[in-house]
Amino acid sequence: MGRKSKLRRRKREEDFLGASSDLMALGLDDEDKPMSAKQSSKLKKKQRKQMRKQAKHEKDKSRYPQHKREKRSSESTKHSKWHCIKVHGGDMVEKHFLYTSIGNFVDVEFQPLGFHKIDKMSCFYLENNEPAATAIGGLNKRLQGSDGSLLKIAVTSCQTPDLVLNSDQMEVLKCVLARRFNGSSCLLDLTDLHHDSGLVEKDMLVSLASPMIFKQVLRIIRENVPHIKALNLSKNNLRVGSLKMFQSLQTGTSQLNALNLGHNYIGDIQVLKCIKMFPITELSLEFNPLVDHYKQNPVKYVSLAKKELPGLKLLDCVDVDAYLLENGKPKLIQEPKLHLSEGGTTSSSSSVSEEMVRTYLEQYYSLIDTPERSNLVAAYTPDAALEIKSTIASIGANVFVGQDKIREALALLPATQHQHSSFSLDVKLLNTCAAQAIVKGQCQIAGVGSVINFSHSMNIVPYNAGLCCSQAVLEMR
């Protein structure tokens, strides 16, 4: 036997042994082994495909370090999960009958969204409710329709529903946006838009995570509110891809200076390029994967934002200029040094001006929404009185006298997020040594679904080298 023949024979034996080992790994019996040339060829093709896949994986690992792979996949791993429920029956299944029938058999609470009909099929969606989707899928051919036939129920995972709105639905949406618009502050609040009761009642699923829906909403804003100054897009499952069309709002005289993108799925700093054509001075990106990327280097995060948005003053409720000036330490109201006169009263020889009061309030509200809120006790005189009037269940009405009690009150308040663009300010100089400031506006409170209104009245007096509050009344409703 020649040398070439021996090599060919050895190669066939190695291929056969390799195929046999792969068959054993697949758990096939001896009688099921692919002994034919066709079956052996199939197995070899599968092996080559797996090897190419493994080689590509290794190549990606070498090209992208671990932190970069995590960054690339962050938006795909963190997203809202949807399920589409399709119901077939002998006759068209009506919404009320269907929801009632399912509710009688399913113990898990669920909120159906976007009910619609296609031929003889009824459809609706569930968001982030895997248990309910599984339970409803288990009712396949177990529920009876109005004509007595068994209902076929199919449950499938899906991407964000992309239900384009017709002309009638667009009119409904315009009414909803008009209700959410504050004319005095030019603020449009689109927080969690697809759960708005006015849309849900009409079976309209207006998810801004859908590019088509987002495009339609932006067109309404551009045509009806060209002078918009503040826009709240929090809790809408937005990602950078959707925000690329945000520039369609831009006009030669755009006034949009406050933008809230918090509580979304934004995972790339490139989002700043999508909004840099606007005169943004206040931006919130809190509770997005993007912020997590810069937990170890917050200065870089703030610096990049300032570079793309030169006019930016507040980023996630932090004073940008003060933060960068102090190399990563937010500018706080300093603890006052007490200087008492012989009679035991606070020295107050300084005068008060409106400019000083405004500076004091800017510092106060740059700190109140941060974890360092307790430092605000330094903004009150030692014998100050703080009265809280509230209709919010989680905030009790009470009067707190002295810095120790005020410190406790600040600690008990739930986390807040004030919407600075909604503020109105009235400053009255009572005399050369006292002023009264009244701040009114809107804010979000942790655990409260809707935006609340507040009014904060403060008597401000000179204290040491600066100003302090001697008496305050905070109303929340």
**Sheet bearing 416-431, strands edge to edge:** 398-401, 380-390, 466-476, 452-463, 434-445, 416-431
- Pair (50, 86) in one structural domain: no
* Residue 345 domain flag: no
Q: Pick from 241, 296, 226, 238: which is nearest to 263 by CA?
A: 238
CA angle at residue 24 from 23 to 28, to 5 degrees? 70
Q: Are residues 242 and 262 in the same domain?
A: yes
User: What is the pLDDT, as a whole number, of residue 99?
Assistant: 92
What per-residue confidence (pLDDT) applies to 281?
A: 93
Last residue of a domain, one of 107, 129, 158: 158
The CATH number of the domain where 192 resides is what?
Answer: 3.80.10.10
pLDDT band at 236 (very low <50, low <70, confident <90, very high): very high
Residue 70 has pLDDT above 70, yes or no: no
Global pTM value: 0.55
- The counts of H helices and E strands in the chain are 15, 17
* Mean predicted confidence (pLDDT) in 443-467: 86
pLDDT digits (tens, 9 = 90+) for 353-390: 888 888 889 889 888 888 878 888 888 998 898 999 98
Range of the structural domain that residue 16 is part of: 3-63
**pLDDT value of residue 260:** 96
pLDDT, tens digit, for every residue of 305-320? 999 999 999 999 988 8
What's the CATH code of the domain at 101? Answer: 3.30.70.330
Is the pLDDT confidence value at 133 over 50? Answer: yes
Residues 274 and 134 occupy one common structural domain: no
Instruction: Report the side by side order of strands in the sheet with 152-158.
Output: 113-118, 121-127, 82-88, 152-158
* Same-domain check for residues 108 and 257: no
pLDDT above 50: residue 75: no
**Would 347 be classed as within a structural domain?**
no
In a domain, 9, yes or no: yes
**Does residue 413 fall inside a structural domain?**
yes
Higher pLDDT, 98 or 337: 98
d(CA 317, CA 220): 29
The answer as to whether 465 is a domain residue is yes
> What is the distance between the alpha carbons of residues 416 and 221, in angstroms, rounded to a whole number?
27
d(CA 470, CA 465) in angstroms, rounded, equals 15
What distances in angstroms separate CA 306 from CA 98, 229, 377, one per listed residue?
Answer: 53, 20, 30
Residue 74 lies in a domain: no
Task: Give the total number of structural domains in the chain.
Answer: 4
| Residue 28 belongs to a domain | yes
DSSP string, 250-290: --TT----EEE--SS----TTHHHHHTTS---EEE-TTSHH
Q: Are residues 309 and 399 in the same domain?
A: no
Q: Are residues 88 and 198 in the same domain?
A: no
Task: Name the pLDDT band for 59 (thresholds 50, 70, 90).
Answer: low
Specify if 141 maps to a domain.
yes
The structure tokens 């509110």 sit at 225
Q: How far is CA 373 from CA 261, 386, 436, in A?
A: 23, 15, 22
The pLDDT score that the predictor gives to residue 167 is: 92
- As a whole number, mean pLDDT of residues 84-104 equals 88
Cβ-contact 333, 339 below 8 angstroms:
no
298 and 422 assigned to the same domain:
no
SS3 131: helix
